[in-house]
Chain A
């Protein structure tokens, strides 16, 4: 076993072990130890890129051990340019979230975050279909517990909706995965790549099942209705993980498993996916224009952004898939940051209603500055991370040509403009305008902030959590090659398999 293989297993095993240790410790130590485990997990993640041999387009490193031969299940982990950025994002966001929890109590929450990290990283690293399904399911109950245990007023309903909706999606994943594994006689994604060993009918059936499964997770309009509730009710760290990496399991799965295993089915379904993706972009933006609550607005904006990602995937071109992968990472960074900020604002103002917020620029200039940065990044300003993924999804659609795809590109571009509109509206409401004293704070009038307004300062823990995300947003925006450097070979392998 090489050191890289050890690192690969450690990415999944360390957080899992950490969760077990944290669950057995006392609260304060547990939070520190949890953060320690999350931080240590970054080491193998940093180590993995060195395993890459520059010429080879295949896996950087892999571990393949037979686990349950009766079910064709191998413990097959691997990493390549498509999965690595998402694994790194998972590791980063988990560290930031566990560090963020230092200011509040939450031993169980820390443990759950580590379980989530193990599940999400495992999903991105799995190169076996059944193992992929297994890790896909690992996140379900911990995320339910995060929302139901630490969420807002209406958390139970939102958590139940989340868990039942996503399990409903998993049903299709299970059926799709088993259909593929049974007809091909193997669950190995590397062997199955390009639809090897599957006839046309099986590929159609498998892609339909898998696409529905991933569409629920991503989520794709009209299967998105669980998302706004879950986001609004989830605690800050829950929202960050949910938007930052959990949704990416859907889009990643669609690229790796859907397009990878059933290219013929993907080709057939591409127009439908494209239309739904553009519908998601437009619906998301239009709904956002009418939103009155901060977290709900950001949640719906996710629907729009994931629409761009799915549009990129639907074009099935090299440009489109790369745009989708970049969009995935950018959305994870920016929306993670936005949810951190929304949480910070709600903590201070005790409300997320846009009508009750205002004048943040005066009361908390630093917070307002970071919010402005994140919102502008999210609306896709060139030079920041959000731009590349969305612009090139549109470009890929235009390149694909034909009446349908050109129309879709135009509509997506209009959706992009609407995105700018609602984010500017958000900024006008929240940061500009007269400073308003939220009703709840006014009634108590004893809030520790200066003269009953929002607490102006940004604490060290908050800076610690936000600055890496802001810096990476800028870095990826200036040099998208950071994410894309290793994707071209695996993406070309995917597109070459297409008819």
Chain B
């Protein structure tokens, strides 16, 4: 047996992402300055995205055994790598104010973020089940630490919320990985397939084993996208995690889970299971979100519901992958804006707070208010969030095209429930302040004193502007995304 040649060019995105992690570590060691670390991660992220674009989507794979490869560039993989890189840099931008405050060691924080990005890139390019699961784990593993990575300055009230969130996330995640691995093993035992392009539905006496394997794989990965009934960890973890990390969890981590699920359901039949998960996820997510009184929990439940719409497209199998991928990209951009505005409206290092803290925020900060309305309208699938509208239309179109009209109906009805809470929060942003119980000479002055308008740090402002620009551009030219994905 001869040593096979490795196509290093097609591995460029991976080299760039992994190199970023090393570079960040070195920058921390050699310069120990935050600016150097941030610069390393930002340029690394840009390099990763550039690498993915250079490789493109049509190059042949590498690490091949016979005709099947373990590293397969595809249009979807390219888009995913670009999105992961963008999200990483975006979340870094959102973290800058709290890192300056010293809530977490900058070097470690950025290193872990870069590792997570590497995992995300691998998920997109993975050509076999092992690479896929290793990719998903590399994506999540640093997040256990990031969720719990919270230092307190002397005198600050110490809270164990992030530590307990971290432990919750860790335990659930480990169990789900075990389940997914068991599923992969059973499926391998029954069909002998490890490469994605060789995955087949089980036949003969081993069919039940193969089917059980697929079901376990789907369930294991459904934990990662927080599909109901495997969702309970998400609200608690988001609430306990620092805000930018929660943003990363609900965007990048979710995207990784979606990509992994898409890789499985596109090849083997898991339509019934995925369909049930989809209906449960969107309905429960939306209904529970109606009752939330804290911002991050509301976003958490709404992002659970959004995962339901993606799962609905995935219930179509291979035919729905393009729609699911398009929806995911639209979704992560809008979700990043929503979290970004929350970060900008709260003091550095603070949690998301109660919804009441956002009363009148849109009057004090018109641009931030407009960005949040854009994000919420998009998540509800309505103009002016045109990106979100096209996302919904894409999914409904795919569902009806493939004869799943009933599921399209459930998706559309859920959009109505979803609007109820999006509109409630958006209206709250423009509500006039409550009249104080005592007579005050100048209520506006009192309001300004109790609800000061916080300065928005340059990094956060830049991330928000860039993300909003992307959302608006995708809203007016969604064909760009559809072209990139095909």
* A174 at interface, CB cutoff 8 A: yes
Cβ-defined contact, B420 with A148, below 8 A: no
Cβ-defined contact, B478 with A175, below 8 A: no
Query: A362-393 interface mask toward B, CB cutoff 8 Å, 1 = contact, 0 = none?
Result: 00000000000000000000000000000000
- List, sorted by A's number, 23 A–B pairs whose CB atoms are closer than 8 Å: A68-B390, A71-B394, A71-B482, A134-B383, A134-B389, A137-B389, A141-B384, A141-B423, A144-B423, A163-B423, A164-B416, A164-B419, A164-B420, A171-B412, A171-B413, A174-B392, A175-B396, A175-B405, A175-B409, A178-B408, A179-B400, A181-B397, A182-B401
* A67 at interface, CB cutoff 8 A: yes
* A130 at interface, CB cutoff 8 A: yes
* B190 at interface, CB cutoff 8 A: no
Instruction: List the A side residues contacting B392 at CB < 8 Å.
Output: 174
* B415 at interface, CB cutoff 8 A: yes
- A141 interface neighbour in B377, B390, B401, B405, Cβ under 8 Å: B377
Cβ-defined contact, A156 with B427, below 8 A: yes
* A69 at interface, CB cutoff 8 A: yes
Cβ-defined contact, B416 with A137, below 8 A: no
- A175 interface neighbour in B408, B482, B486, Cβ under 8 Å: B408
* A149 at interface, CB cutoff 8 A: yes
Instruction: List the B side residues contacting A137 at CB < 8 Å.
Output: 382-383, 389
* B393 at interface, CB cutoff 8 A: yes
- Residue positions of B touching A, CB distance < 8 A: 377, 382-384, 386, 389-390, 392-394, 396-397, 400-401, 405, 408-409, 412-413, 415-416, 419-420, 423-424, 427, 430, 478-479, 482, 486
Cβ-defined contact, B415 with A167, below 8 A: yes
Instruction: List the B side residues contacting A160 at CB < 8 Å.
Output: 420, 423-424
B95 → chain A, closest Cβ, in Å? 31
Which chain A residue shows the least CB distance to B427?
A148
- Known pairs A130-B393, A178-B400, A181-B397 / 11 extra A-B pairs, C-beta < 8 Å: A68-B478, A68-B479, A68-B482, A69-B482, A71-B478, A141-B384, A148-B427, A164-B419, A171-B416, A178-B393, A179-B400
- B405 interface neighbour in A119, A163, A179, A181, Cβ under 8 Å: A179
Cβ-defined contact, B397 with A182, below 8 A: yes
Cβ-defined contact, B377 with A182, below 8 A: no
Instruction: List the A side residues contacting B416 at CB < 8 Å.
Output: 164, 167-168, 171
A334 to B212, CA, bound (A): 67
A323 to B420, CA, bound (A): 38
Query: A52-73 interface mask toward B, CB cutoff 8 Å, 1 = contact, 0 = none?
Result: 0000000000000001111100
A452 to B424, CA, bound (A): 41
A70 to B390, CA, bound (A): 11
Instruction: List the B side residues contacting A181 at CB < 8 Å.
Output: 397
Cβ-defined contact, A70 with B405, below 8 A: no
Interface residues of A in 270-314 (CB under 8 A from B): none
Instruction: List the A side residues contacting B486 at CB < 8 Å.
Output: 70
- Considering the complex of A and B, which 4 residue pairs feature the smallest CB-CB distances, nearest first? A70-B482, A171-B412, A138-B383, A182-B401
* A140 at interface, CB cutoff 8 A: yes
A451 to B160, CA, bound (A): 69
Cβ-defined contact, A171 with B389, below 8 A: no
A209 to B38, CA, bound (A): 53
Query: A131-174 interface mask toward B, CB cutoff 8 Å, 1 = contact, 0 = none?
Result: 00110011011001000110000001001100110011001001
A77 → chain B, closest Cβ, in Å? 16
- A163 interface neighbour in B386, B415, B419, Cβ under 8 Å: B419
